[in-house]
Structure 1
């Protein structure tokens, strides 16, 4: 969201990051009974997109590399502890729904899902194992094959730190991850919408599938402050750096009980998705470097005022930290549920008190050597909201994440 542009310290405080990619998940079909597996091939370098290349592991500078190594030496157990807390936060049986939206906020598909998460190993060798179950539409061919199963690639110390470039806030129960492909999301759509009728067509009729080589796939996850629920939001930017689609898993955990049917519709819609966000919001932000050793970069007090003026949205942002106070104003035009700001940034209003934001065209950021941000906001009640913002450099590397908790005054 444009709110981060008020904080100039974020993009400059980037830790050394790694960009490595693996093959997309493969969908294997054995007769009528499909099972989905993640490719186990070795990591390969990312192929160039139209506007930038995801590079191999690169040290930003010798001084910053030394700083990170010193961090690890001084806090040797920190990585394992953070990993343990991340895995613990994800454990359990999660029942819910998967929602697909286009770039203007229009709902395209809804799929019922279940997620079973467990772990094995200890300390630095601990791993998170997840299996996604996707409710298939009724089929006359296989009436008993109700759920498709997808084995998600396990998460461990290496994958979350290097591949997914985790941004984790244990106390706030929020995290951000990066993915190389949209294989898991594509499988959810194919199995949940087409079911046994899916013959693997590139562009199935009536179904929008993510690009095979997206430029960015980013997950921002926020946990409810009131119940054991969470919202996992995915930005998918196409190979040209333009928003392709938005995806949300809205899930409720049922610990200690067998996986049951998902609850009813959780994502309530409203004809007016903008008005609930208008007014003055005050809160606090916390910015961390990417990775399991990511240290806090900046903390700040924030004030955001949103108001309408002649049919346009005016947003005034003030951020106060130890480095001083900065302010910025944004003006946006409104078209349905899409707000386009005058600095090439857009906010897509979604049902359930949510919005997601991103640049209109990442190539413009890349060509001008500017970092960029992807944001997810969840207003769970009329007077409180959480926001999670992921900051990327011009090579598409996630360098930091910022968590906001704000209340309406």
Structure 2
């Protein structure tokens, strides 16, 4: 059992935004709080109780799940992923779990994209839509996803010109199927907890959202636009963690972007719903001098979860599982105290004893 104790100064800097209806255990969550918590705890597992399984079959999505034809801006890109780490067949995702993963994602998602710096301050807020559908059957079924980004209005205007209709740039996300789920995306899926984690090797999608949503048609392709933080163009690690609301069709997807040295560079949060999405972060609350006790209180308490860590390398792959407990409390000095307790599961112990690790 590993135990880590951390002390974090200046609680007022820790979180921002309004609370939402995501209620893992007895606590409430905010998108920014989730991003910072995930960054600090490296959550690749859920911190939510077991919901009832939907039991829906995996099938191609009907036509009404697709977005209507939208006016597309000039930005259109495709996801690019490099490398194909070897995955043991025993660790591959089953077709049943893949179908359950698809069922969670299929539909039309309205969302708000938030960008935070490494200190949790809101940098950008952009409206998005995502359309996800499936095609094929059985082992050949695939998930297709298109992300639409509301483009920023041009900074060049004319006196008599009426406000133009907003344009939406399209980004096609790499499809997911039995081959890509383990070879490229490396998805860790927790079907009962309605949570998943996956890894990307490029930050292309996030850069496209920022350029379209902030610069729009005024984007000149400059590598480092003024007043805009673009994820590193160098090979960087992008980790995505997602949890779904247990009492509705909402979800929060958090991305941690590390630079080539492994240092946290940017935090990204998509707050999405299959209905109306209300803004949950307020950039006016970024002043570190403003009281933030209400925002911090949403994180306090005991958080329980489960983690699965996969490592791949030249000499083979290892699988490590652990039950995790995180305790968050405020001491008498107003400092946030964080206790992390990780207990190896029986599977990990058996692998160690038999030399499979």
Superposition TM-score, scaled by structure 1 size: 0.56
1:209 aligns with 2:223: no
Between Structure 1 and Structure 2, how many residues are aligned?
261
1:124 aligns with 2:139: yes
Task: Give the Cα–Cα distance (whole angstroms) in 2 for the partners of residues 39 and 216 of structure 1.
Answer: 14
Question: Residue 263 of structure 1 aligns with which residue?
Answer: 277
Instruction: Call closer, same or farther: CA 1:189–1:317 in 2, change over 3 Å.
Output: closer
Larger RCO: 1 or 2 (CA < 8 Å, sep 6+): 2
State whether residues 38 and 152 of structure 1, in contact with CA within 8 Å, keep that contact through their aligned partners in structure 2.
Answer: yes
1:107 aligns with 2:128: no
| Counterpart pick for 1:286 among 290, 306, 323 | 306
1:306 aligns with 2:346: no
Instruction: Call closer, same or farther: CA 1:320–1:102 in 2, change over 3 Å.
Output: closer
Task: Give the Cα–Cα distance (whole angstroms) in 1 for the partners of residues 5 and 140 of structure 2.
Answer: 38
Question: Residue 269 of structure 2 aligns with which residue?
Answer: 248
Instruction: Call closer, same or farther: CA 1:104–1:159 in 2, change over 3 Å.
Output: same
Question: Residue 235 of structure 1 aligns with which residue?
Answer: 256
Deviation readout 1:67-115 (Å, 9 max, x if unpaired): x54677xxxxx62111111111100000010000001111000000000
Offset of residue 316 of structure 1: 3.2
More strand, by proportion:
1
Q: Alpha carbon RMSD of aligned pairs, Å?
A: 3.4
SS in 1 for 2:227: coil
Task: Give the Cα–Cα distance (whole angstroms) in 2 for the partners of residues 281 and 156 of structure 1.
Answer: 36
Offset of residue 315 of structure 1: 2.6
Task: Give the Cα–Cα distance (whole angstroms) in 1 for the partners of residues 149 and 337 of structure 2.
Answer: 41
Question: Structure 2 unaligned runs (5+)?
Answer: 7-71, 286-290, 312-317, 347-357
State whether residues 236 and 259 of structure 2, in contact with CA within 8 Å, keep that contact through their aligned partners in structure 1.
Answer: yes
| Counterpart pick for 1:163 among 176, 184, 195 | 184
Question: Residue 392 of structure 1 aligns with which residue?
Answer: none
Question: Structure 1 unaligned runs (5+)?
Answer: 7-31, 46-55, 60-67, 73-77, 255-261, 324-409
Question: Residue 9 of structure 2 aligns with which residue?
Answer: none
Instruction: Call closer, same or farther: CA 1:287–1:200 in 2, change over 3 Å.
Output: same
State whether residues 250 and 267 of structure 1, in contact with CA within 8 Å, keep that contact through their aligned partners in structure 2.
Answer: no
State whether residues 287 and 296 of structure 1, in contact with CA within 8 Å, keep that contact through their aligned partners in structure 2.
Answer: no
Deviation readout 1:320-349 (Å, 9 max, x if unpaired): 6766xxxxxxxxxxxxxxxxxxxxxxxxxx
| Counterpart pick for 1:274 among 275, 296, 300 | 296
1:220 aligns with 2:241: yes
Question: Residue 62 of structure 1 aligns with which residue?
Answer: none
State whether residues 5 and 340 of structure 2, in contact with CA within 8 Å, keep that contact through their aligned partners in structure 1.
Answer: no
Task: Give the Cα–Cα distance (whole angstroms) in 1 for the partners of residues 225 and 255 of structure 2.
Answer: 21
1:38 aligns with 2:78: yes
Offset of residue 169 of structure 1: 0.5
Task: Give the Cα–Cα distance (whole angstroms) in 1 for the partners of residues 303 and 212 of structure 2.
Answer: 42
1:185 aligns with 2:206: yes
Deviation readout 1:131-178 (Å, 9 max, x if unpaired): 111111223499345211111111111222111111101111100010
Q: How does 1:326-337 map to 2 (within 5 A)?
A: none
1:174 aligns with 2:195: yes
Deviation readout 1:350-385 (Å, 9 max, x if unpaired): xxxxxxxxxxxxxxxxxxxxxxxxxxxxxxxxxxxx
Instruction: Call closer, same or farther: CA 1:312–1:184 in 2, change over 3 Å.
Output: same
State whether residues 300 and 321 of structure 1, in contact with CA within 8 Å, keep that contact through their aligned partners in structure 2.
Answer: yes
State whether residues 79 and 124 of structure 1, in contact with CA within 8 Å, keep that contact through their aligned partners in structure 2.
Answer: no
State whether residues 95 and 114 of structure 1, in contact with CA within 8 Å, keep that contact through their aligned partners in structure 2.
Answer: yes
Deviation readout 1:294-326 (Å, 9 max, x if unpaired): x99656473625232434332334456766xxx
Instruction: Call closer, same or farther: CA 1:58–1:90 in 2, change over 3 Å.
Output: closer
Offset of residue 39 of structure 1: 6.0
Task: Give the Cα–Cα distance (whole angstroms) in 1 for the partners of residues 281 and 320 of structure 2.
Answer: 34
| Counterpart pick for 1:316 among 320, 329, 339 | 339
